[in-house]
Amino acid sequence: PDGRAFLVDFAEGLPGIAYTELNIPRWLEGRPDRFSGIEVVGWNLERATIAQTLLAGCLSEGAIAHHQEQYKSLISSETDQAETILA
């Protein structure tokens, strides 16, 4: 929940997972209202299990707010330190 967005490519049977950070601004104010999606392709998928797993991985509004405040504070602190070094 540091506001970054990624494209993640994984295929069973192929080595590795490819992560690409998308070149869009961080989202640090509440739940993002931009597009977010997951595409699952396969045969004999256990749809109920997939849905349950995705729902179990969702953060509450309170957890999102807490983490976003931590990241905003961290980013502010890093910016302040960089400005002090440059001064």
Q: Can you give the residue ranges of every domain in the chain?
A: 6-86
- Mention every residue, 6+ apart, whose C-beta is less than 8 A from residue 28: 2, 3, 68, 71, 72
Span 1-18, pLDDT tens digits: 588 889 988 888 888 889
Q: What is the DSSP letter of 49?
A: H
The string of pLDDT tens digits covering residues 45-61 is 999 999 999 999 888 99
* Residue 21: predicted pLDDT: 93
